Amino acid sequence: MVNYNNYIPSLETIFNILKCILIVSNALVIVGSLFVLVSGRDLGEPEFKSNHSVLIFACIMVIMFCSLGIFSVWRQHFALVVTYAVLMTIALVLEIAELSKEDVGSFFASAAVVICAYVYAFLIRHYEKNEEMKRVFAHQAAKI
């Protein structure tokens, strides 16, 4: 008989994988935004064709947004990770309105990052509750 528990990763492993995915994906977006900001290329987006100040503003906002994502994931701060995930969800909903064939892959990659952020946030909450339970039990055991 096969023991499937040997093949299922632990919550800690999943937690670390999600942390790496979120940090790397946000770092790549920051690098891409810095490239666009430095080069001044509009990447063929029609809304940036004649208005480079909008392009600069968009790049700065993306860099700040992804920095929030990296900081919140790195510090394992539940409220900031949830805030990042909600803001990313809103951005995805707004992106649906102007989704083209070329953007479908990017959309699904962003959706996967959002799902990772929500799962990561709830794993943070799970670990916080476990630590609280350990503290309560240790306190109760110390009383006895």
How far is CA 110 from its chain centroid?
9
Residues making up the chain, counted from first to last: 144
In eight-state DSSP terms, residue 5 is: G
Q: What is the percent of the chain where pLDDT is above 90? A: 29
Residue 3 has pLDDT above 80, yes or no: no
Tokens at residue 144, please? Answer: 């006895």
pLDDT digits (tens, 9 = 90+) for 38-61: 876 666 666 666 667 777 787 888
Does the pLDDT of residue 22 top 90, yes or no? Answer: yes
Query: pTM score > 0.85 for this model?
Result: no
Q: Is residue 4 part of a domain?
A: no
The predicted pLDDT at position 44 comes to 64
Q: Which residues lie below 8 Å from residue 70, measured CB to CB, with a gap of 6+?
A: 22, 23, 26, 27, 30
Q: How confident is the model at residue 116 (pLDDT cuts 50, 70, 90)?
A: very high
**2 domain residue, yes or no:** no
User: How many domains does the chain divide into?
Assistant: 1
**Domain coverage including residue 15:** 11-143
In a domain, 3, yes or no: no
Residues 47-97 have pLDDT tens digits of: 666 667 777 787 888 889 899 999 999 998 899 999 999 998 888 888 787
Counting Cβ atoms within 10 Å, is residue 58 exposed (0-12), middle (13-18) or buried (19+)?
Answer: middle
| 84, part of any domain | yes
Residue 92 per-residue DSSP state: H
Locus of tokens 């940036």: 48
